[in-house]
């Protein structure tokens, strides 16, 4: 279990967010939802160890009770854009994290290659990102994240750039991928429909300075999450979010 | 400078110079600023120096008169009959080959063989230097670096072994700076003696407006005669006419020009072209394949060159 | 392809040349002042051997100077990129360096550094270094924040981030700057030679001028233009050749 | 403010000058070859009156040439913007024009156009026109499609779309190009004067050189740098002054 | 009533969309929904008379039975971005359409000024767009559209750049504005949740070449459109959209 305690982020004495505490369980999808600017990205960047230097943070991160030193060993971060390098092929993009971690290109490729098929990316290995559709790019980005074998995965609005139809498809796809290969996931989004469709647990942040104002488990199995079944939860979320920001 | 009242009645003509304003041009400046031109009904504009050759400026019709360096004039006249010389300023060669006195390796022109020469990019330099070395019994091979006016500093700091200078300008400057330099005169080593610094006009002008040419040249003559007789006063007129950051250079130069009898030598009229030396120089250049005809081919035989100059303006 | 895409421009240039030729023939202007294009071409042909000797010298200096310039610009850009203090300290100095008139500096450079390749190279560097440096620095700034964050989250250090993200991001800007600089590399070399050299197009121009051969001056201009265009074409080729997509197409198994 | 933001750079330049001064004093190199900065400053002070006369001439020609260049570039950019065929026909011609060595052209220009302001202006235009034109054209291309569509949907014609969208969109690119060109305007003027003029910094440099005064040559270099920096500062001021936000702040009632 | 009949759009002989026929009623909000690239924007641009020249269109547009000549007289178009000119103040931006139509600045301002209050833009008249939040910018863009007094309004994904919470707020705001000042609206979106919340009528387009595959009236008053009440409609839309694209 990954515990984050008493995180506070400031820029030049202004409190941007916090104090926030939260925990991620292994094999569980947690969605962090909140209005724009509340600090969702900042939370995730701090966890990934890449908060920009002008933002001062205090707080602790513990993994199964022991304080964390090197974040990159057990956490994989996927930024808000798909961040596929346009000058690398999809194959090279996917191997990036493994190579940075010290593998040779050959080893990395041996590890990544078998995953192209289940990710629906067969045949794209030698293509460049611009030759792929939005959904495929998002899958490639996710493959690059997954292949690093981290126990925890941080996703920052992975689907916000997709159109509604593709978004729904990708949400379903992500759910099925995680069922095949479960990880502890923290996914940031501001889309309450998306969050309610994917999450095992919902954390709702208040507007700036962001705090966690609700922690809602969703026990309904994902197969049964029809629009009707989720309607009440969504109404509740909407009320929460709209009330907060006044 | 200060023009008389009746300036509007004066005929406007211009004269282009071959180089930055210097003491070679003294007569023109004196004639202008002492009003000799105005007396002859002319308003003379001295065109500013330009990187463009004054012979080309003449040929293009940009100006009526041009002060043209010897080589420039002979080369231009060889390829285009449009120009005619009216005058030559210096009665003796003002150019010479200089080297540093402390350069032990150079005692005589033959020693120049294999040395480094700072040049100016004209064809005649090669003819000149090889003639001097050959006449002195050396082998005419050397290394040329084209440096333009940077040549003199390069020589002073010893980056090159020798170059060509004008005794009445760079020579004076070297002396003012206390540089220890020695020189060879061209004429001592097989190069025909020559006069320096032509004033020329277009053949068309000469044919169509002989009176204007006459008026201009007679005033010019008066200017140079004045300078020859009053070098110190002429120096002050020069200094008043242009920006000379180094006034002593102008004064020294004019003093040398006067003392060296460059302008007035005996009873030869000032500015007189000597037909024999003129023809001799053309022959020397033709033999050395320096001259090109109008098609760009080497002019081997210039034939009779007496039409290359015309001094009819001297006639009363 | 190059020909087709520039067909219109070539037509325009031909038309301009024809006009010029016609003017020369009609007005009877002396070739001392304005030679006709046909004169220029003939002189170029007749003197091809001599000119090409000079052209080779110019190419040598320009190539050396330009590649030094690129190398220095690259090294400097890395230093400035990693230490913003240096950038603030030196960029204005480089800007001031661009305001120095070469006409004044060139003869002094010859005096200070002799008439070997050094002063000429320094002049070429002075002219071409700054645009390349600026384009590199602005290219570095185009590295997407997200890409750098991603690399950092994977545990990549500064150097690896620079090599794998910043550098590739700067590629287009780098080549754009290279093209601008290359346009001036040959001209700057010629200028430097003009101030003092043993041979080169600059010396050829000086000689042609001193020998009243406007046709040869213009022949040298033609050669200079051709050399510059060739250099630009060469850079295009390098750009195409080093493009990741080209490279991949060469190596890809499929 | 300008001073503070460049404090570091000024320190670096001072340090360089000190080094140079020290070198001159220690090595005892003759001032004919390398005058010390203090010599240069003293000469500048002693000859301030004369130099400022020449500087005025240079400023006049540069201002005239540069403003003509901007005007032409602007008119040309409009013509090329509205007729892409013209753009394809002329841009390569302009590129080729940038490959012509000025050293060759300048003397010929004097021959063709005389000693007036014209040949100098033409040279300044030749140097500065193309960068401005290119930046204007690339600026026009930055006009957002949506803005143009919106205007068209309101019934605006081509001209109104150009005036209200394309032109304001090109503002930043235009000023960027202006700054680049301005850096070379003074230097180009000096070069043109060098080829033939009555007065101007170029002539002053030539005189100084022919009178063997390296200190005065370098004084002129200082003046040239100052003029260029002043021109750049002046452009900054215009840019600030014509900025919509500045304008609004001046006129806004609140 | 504005009728569009048999619209077909081609690029170099490829059929991009059509044939499409649809009609807009006065004072009714029609939402055009469909997957990315199906041609929604092209339909709207054709109606606004600004289809790019490389796209060849055939079809007729009639207003109350008479063919249309000048689109700008009765149609106002709002592009996908808010398209507020950054070099103009909000006040000047809002007056733009009126000035283009020939009004003097004074007349235009006299007409626009009273609307700043009801649009919640009081005090922003002299500000520049970058000084406004996303929601305020969208309101300003809408004010610029409305002030032109056109009978029909074409909106291209007006809220797609907003975060979910602001989006919900703006949807509610738009609905209330249109109640105060009704127009015939055609709004393009790919968000089925948004469409079902706003529209009086839903047109669902198929993927490329886009055709209209469903025409669904929504009779429920907007005040009663809770998540629960819309759940069935959304499920239906989702099925339609997901089925189409395979
Ligand atoms: N470098 C910075 N300096 C000052 N404030 C910053 C900086 N970066 C971000 N902020 C502020 O910090 C707050 C949190 O930003 P963050 O990106 O974490 O929000 P977010 O919830 O991810 O928003 P969004 O939904 O728009 O992505 C915002 O109000 C933002 O304006
Ligand atoms: N200039 C063009 N040339 C060729 N094809 C084009 C051009 N412009 C658009 N298209 C194609 O036309 C189709 C319709 O485009 P359009 O922008 O109308 O779609 P859309 O439904 O608005 O998509 P989105 O939801 O992404 O905004 C797309 O498939 C697009 O690729
Ligand atoms: Mg964020
Ligand atoms: Mg669209």
A198 with A31: CB under 8 angstroms?
yes
Residue that terminates a domain, selected from A99, A120, A149: A149
| E80 CA to centre of ligand 2 in angstroms | 13
Cβ contact, residue pair D248, E50, below 8 Å: no
CATH number (domain holding residue D102): 1.10.3720.10
Spacing, Cα D142 to ligand 2 middle (Å): 20
Rounded Cα gap, residues B306 and E169, in angstroms? 102
Across chain D, mean pLDDT equals 87
Residues of B in contact with C213 (CB under 8 A): 292, 296
Best mutation target, E227, E234, E238, to test chain A (most A CBs within 10 A): E227
Task: Chain A: list its partners (3+ Cβ pairs within 8 Å).
Answer: C, E
Residue of B nearest to D105 (CA): B52
Nearest ligand for residue E156 CA: 4
Q: Which atom of ligand 2 is nearest to the CA of E38?
A: 21
Domain count, chain C: 1
Residue-wise pLDDT for C99-146, tens only, equals 888 888 888 888 788 778 898 999 999 989 999 999 999 999 999 999
Length of chain A: 246
Query: Which of B92-106, D20-34, D152-166, D239-253 comes out lowest in average pLDDT?
Result: D239-253
Interface of D with C in 105-134 (CB under 8 A): 105, 107-108, 111-112
DSSP D88-124: HHHHHHHHHHTTS-HHHHHHHHHHHH-SSSHHHHHHH
pLDDT at D249 over 80: no
Percent above pLDDT 70 for chain C: 96
CA–CA dist C77, C81 (Å, integer): 6
Q: Is the pLDDT of residue C62 over 90?
A: yes
- Cβ atoms of residues C38 and C21 within 8 Å: yes
Q: Do A87 and C171 touch (CB under 8 A)?
A: yes
- Where is the domain boundary, A100, A120, A149? A149
Distance from CA of A197 to the nearest CA of E (A): 13
Across all residues in chain E, what is the average pLDDT?
87
DSSP E16: E
D 185-204 residues with CB < 8 A to C: 186-187, 190-191, 194, 201-202
What would you report as the CA-atom Rg of chain A, rounded to the nearest whole angstrom? 18
The yes-or-no verdict on residue E149 having pLDDT over 90 is no
Residues E130 and E191 in one domain: no
Structure tokens at E23: 């009609």
CB contact under 8 A, E100 and D151: yes
CA nearest B121 in C: which residue?
C207
> What is the model's pLDDT at position B3?
47
CB atoms within 10 A of CB B131: 20
Cross-chain residue pair E101–D154, CB shorter than 8 Å: yes
Kindly report the protein residue whose alpha carbon is nearest to atom 31 of ligand 2. E37
Q: Is the CB of residue D27 less than 8 Å away from at least one CB of chain B?
A: no
What is the predicted pLDDT for the residue at B1?
44
Number of domain units in chain A: 2
Which of A9, A11, A37 is the pocket-test mutation for ligand 1 (most atoms within 8 Å of CB)? Answer: A37
Give the pLDDT mean for D177-183.
89
A127-172 per-position pLDDT tens digit: 999 988 888 898 899 899 989 888 899 999 888 878 888 888 888 8
Taking CA atoms only, the protein residue closest to ligand 2 atom 3 is E11
- Residue ranges around ligand 1 (CB below 6 Å): A 11, 16, 34, 36-42, 52, 54-55, 190, 208; E 163
Q: Which of B75, B77, B146 to mutate to test the interface with C (most CBs of C within 10 A)?
A: B146
Q: What's the confidence (pLDDT) of residue E246?
A: 52
Domain boundary among E106, E128, E149: E149
Contact A77, C150 (CB under 8 A): yes
pLDDT digits (tens, 9 = 90+) for B253-277: 999 998 888 888 888 888 899 999 9
For range D97-122, the mean pLDDT = 85
Q: Do the Cβ atoms of A36 and E238 come within 8 Å?
A: no
Q: For residues B69 and D194, which has the higher predicted lDDT (pLDDT)?
A: B69
Chain-chain contact of C221 with D111 (C-beta, under 8 angstroms): no
In 3D space, the residue among C189, C79, C200, C89 whose CA is nearest the CA of residue C136 turns out to be C79
Which residue would you say has higher pLDDT here, B123 or E27?
Answer: E27
Task: State which residues form the domain around A121.
Answer: 82-149
Q: What is the pLDDT of residue C250?
A: 62
Cα distance from D50 to chain B (closest Cα, Å)?
8
Quote the DSSP letter at residue B192. Answer: P
Share of chain D above pLDDT 90, in %: 48
Q: Over the stretch B137-149, which tens digit does the pLDDT of each residue have?
A: 999 999 888 877 6
Cβ contact A141:A173 at 8 Å: no
Q: Are B138 and B109 in contact (CB under 8 A)?
A: yes
Enumerate residues 6+ apart whose C-beta is below 8 A from E65. Answer: none
Strand ranges in E55-130 using DSSP code E only, listed in sequence order: 56-63, 66-67, 75-78
CB B44 within 8 A of CB B16: no
Give B188-210 pLDDT, tens digit per residue.
Answer: 998 898 888 999 999 889 999 99
**pLDDT, position B49:** 73
Distance from CA of D12 to the nearest CA of C (A): 7
Residue B152 reports pLDDT greater than 90: no
Q: Give the residue, D79 or D99, on which the prediction is more confident.
A: D79
Is the same domain home to A157 and A61? yes
Confidence of residue B79 (pLDDT cuts 50, 70, 90): confident
Same-domain pairing of E69 and E164: yes
Does residue A227 share a domain with residue A195?
yes
Assess whether pLDDT exceeds 50 at residue C154.
yes
Distance of CA A44 to the CA centre of its chain: 8
A166-200 pLDDT tens trace: 888 888 888 888 888 888 999 998 888 889 989 99
Mean pLDDT over the full length of chain B: 87
- Secondary structure class of A6 (helix, strand, coil): strand
Dump pLDDT digits (tens) for B30-49.
Answer: 999 999 999 999 999 988 77
Biggest CA–CA distance in chain D, Å, is: 76
D190 belongs to a structural domain: yes
B60–D112 C-beta distance less than 8 A: yes
For residues C92-114, b (16+ Cβ closer than 10 Å) or e, as one string?
bebbeebbbbbbbbbbbbbbbbb
The mean pLDDT of D80-84, rounded to a whole number, is: 92
Cα angle: A163, vertex A164, A165; to 5 degrees: 100
The shortest C-alpha distance from C146 to chain D (Å) reads 24
- Cβ <8 Å between B123 and C215: no
**Distance between CA A127 and CA B29 in Å, rounded?**
79
**Domain boundaries, position C211:** 37-242
Q: pLDDT for C218-240, tens place per residue?
A: 999 999 999 999 999 999 999 99
Average pLDDT (C150-178) is 92
Q: What is the pLDDT of residues B296-309, one digit of tens each?
A: 678 888 888 888 99
Chains that touch E (3 or more CB pairs under 8 A): A, D
Contact C203 B146 (CB under 8 A): yes
Spatial separation of the C-alpha atoms in residues C9 and D90, rounded to whole Å = 6
Task: Report if residue D4 sits inside a domain.
Answer: no
Q: How far is the CA of E41 from the centre of ligand 2 (A)?
A: 7
E212-217 vs E201-205, strand pairing mode: antiparallel
Confidence of residue E238 (pLDDT cuts 50, 70, 90): confident
Is D222 among the domain residues?
A: yes
CA–CA distance, C157 with C95 (Å, rounded to integer): 32
Binding-site residues on chain C for chain A (CB distance < 8 A): 144, 146-147, 149-156, 160, 164-165, 168, 171, 244-245, 248, 252-254
Residue that has been written with the tokens 């995730």 in this structure = A44
User: Residue E62: which pLDDT band, with cuts at 50, 70 and 90?
Assistant: confident
E245 confidence band (pLDDT: 50, 70, 90): low
Q: Which residue's CA is minimally distant from atom 5 of ligand 2?
A: E11
CATH number, position E52: 3.40.50.300
Q: Are B195 and B278 in contact (CB under 8 A)?
A: yes
pLDDT tens digits for range A89-128: 999 999 999 999 889 999 999 999 998 988 888 889 999 9
- Contact assignment for C154 to A89 by CB distance below 8 Å: no
- A 101-130 residues with CB < 8 A to C: 101, 126, 128
Which pLDDT belongs to residue C3?
Answer: 60
Beta strand B162-166 with B116-119 is: parallel
Predicted pLDDT of residue B6: 52
Q: What is the pTM of this model?
A: 0.86
**pLDDT band, very low/low/confident/very high, at D143 (cuts 50, 70, 90):** very high
Question: Quick one: E59 and E169 in the same domain?
Answer: yes
pLDDT tens digits for range C3-26: 667 788 889 999 999 999 999 888
Residue A121 vs residues A98, A144, A169, D28: alpha-carbon distances, Å: 18, 12, 15, 74
Residue A70 and residue A10 share a domain: yes
């Amino acid at each position: 279990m990954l515990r984050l305690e008493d995180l506070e982020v400031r820029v030049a004495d202004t409190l941007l967010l916090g104090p926030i505490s939260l925990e991620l369980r292994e094999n569980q999808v947690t969605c962090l939802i909140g209005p724009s600017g509340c600090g969702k990205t900042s939370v995730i960047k701090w966890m990934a160890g890449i908060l920009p230097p002008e933002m001062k943070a205090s707080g602790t991160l513990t993994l199964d009770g022991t304080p964390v030193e090197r974040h990159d060993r057990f956490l994989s971060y996927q930024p808000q854009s798909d961040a596929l390098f346009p000058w690398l092929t999809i194959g090279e993009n996917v191997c990036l994290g493994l190579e940075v971690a010290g593998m040779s290109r050959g080893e990395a490729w041996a590890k990544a290659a078998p995953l192209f098929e289940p990710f629906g990316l067969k045949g794209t290995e030698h293509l460049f990102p611009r030759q792929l559709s939005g959904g495929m790019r998002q899958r490639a980005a996710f493959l690059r994240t997954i292949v690093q074998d981290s126990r925890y995965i941080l996703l920052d609005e992975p689907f916000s750039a997709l159109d509604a139809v593709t978004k729904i498809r990708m949400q379903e796809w992500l759910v099925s991928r995680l069922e095949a290969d479960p990880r502890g996931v923290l996914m940031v989004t501001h889309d309450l429909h998306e969050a309610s469709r994917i999450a095992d647990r919902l954390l709702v942040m208040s507007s700036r300075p962001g705090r966690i104002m609700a922690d809602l488990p969703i026990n309904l199995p994902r197969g049964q999450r029809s629009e009707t079944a989720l309607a009440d939860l969504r109404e509740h979320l909407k009320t929460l979010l709209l009330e907060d920001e006044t | 400078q200060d023009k008389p009242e009746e300036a509007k009645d004066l005929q406007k003509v211009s004269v282009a110079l071959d180089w930055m304003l210097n003491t070679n041009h003294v007569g023109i400046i004196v004639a202008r600023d002492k009003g000799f031109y105005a007396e002859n009904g002319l308003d003379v504009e001295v065109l500013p120096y330009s990187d463009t050759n004054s012979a080309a400026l003449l040929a293009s019709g940009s100006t009526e008169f041009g002060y043209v360096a010897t080589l420039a004039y002979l080369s231009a006249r060889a390829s285009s009959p449009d120009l005619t010389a009216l005058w030559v300023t210096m009665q003796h060669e003002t150019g010479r080959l200089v080297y540093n006195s402390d350069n032990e390796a150079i005692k005589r022109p033959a020693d120049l063989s294999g040395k480094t020469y700072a040049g100016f990019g004209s064809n005649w330099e090669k003819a000149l230097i090889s003639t001097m070395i050959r006449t002195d019994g050396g082998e005419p091979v050397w290394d040329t670096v084209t440096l333009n006016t940077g040549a003199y500093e390069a020589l002073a700091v010893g980056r090159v072994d020798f170059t060509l200078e004008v005794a009445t300008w760079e020579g004076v400057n070297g002396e003012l700076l206390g540089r220890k330099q020695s020189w060879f005169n061209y004429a001592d080593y097989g190069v025909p003696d020559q006069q320096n610094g032509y004033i020329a006009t277009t053949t068309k002008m000469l044919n169509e407006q002989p009176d204007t040419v006459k008026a201009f040249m007679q005033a010019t003559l008066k200017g140079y005669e004045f300078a020859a007789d009053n070098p110190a006063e002429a120096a002050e007129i020069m200094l008043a006419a242009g920006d000379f950051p180094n006034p002593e250079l102008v004064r020294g130069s004019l003093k040398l020009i006067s003392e060296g009898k460059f302008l007035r030598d005996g009873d030869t009229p000032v500015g007189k072209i000597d037909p024999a030396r003129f023809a001799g120089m053309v022959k020397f250049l033709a033999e050395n394949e320096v001259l090109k005809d109008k098609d760009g081919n080497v002019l081997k035989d210039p034939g009779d060159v007496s039409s290359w100059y015309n001094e009819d303006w001297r006639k009363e | 392809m190059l020909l087709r895409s520039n067909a219109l421009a070539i037509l325009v240039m031909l038309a301009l040349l024809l006009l010029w030729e016609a003017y020369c023939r009609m007005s009877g202007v002396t070739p001392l002042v304005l030679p006709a294009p046909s004169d220029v071409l003939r002189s170029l042909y007749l003197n091809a051997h001599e000119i090409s000797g000079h052209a080779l010298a110019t190419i040598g200096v320009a190539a050396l100077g330009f590649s030094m310039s690129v190398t220095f610009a690259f090294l400097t850009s890395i230093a400035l990129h990693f230490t913003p203090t240096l950038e603030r300290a030196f960029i204005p100095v480089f800007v001031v360096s661009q305001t120095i008139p070469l006409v004044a500096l060139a003869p002094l450079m010859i005096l200070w550094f002799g008439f070997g390749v050094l002063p000429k190279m320094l002049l070429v560097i002075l002219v071409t270094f700054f645009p390349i440096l600026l384009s590199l620095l602005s290219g570095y700034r185009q590295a997407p924040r997200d890409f750098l964050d991603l690399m950092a989250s994977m545990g990549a250090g500064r150097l690896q981030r620079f090599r794998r993200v910043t550098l590739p991001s700067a590629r287009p800007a780098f080549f754009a700057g290279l093209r601008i600089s290359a346009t001036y590399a040959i001209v700057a070399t010629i200028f430097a030679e003009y101030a003092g050299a043993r041979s080169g197009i600059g010396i050829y121009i000086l000689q042609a001028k001193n020998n009243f051969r406007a046709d040869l001056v213009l022949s040298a201009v033609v050669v200079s233009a051709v050399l510059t265009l060739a250099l630009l074409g060469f850079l295009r080729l390098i750009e195409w050749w080093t493009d990741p997509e080209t490279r991949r197409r060469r190596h890809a198994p499929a």
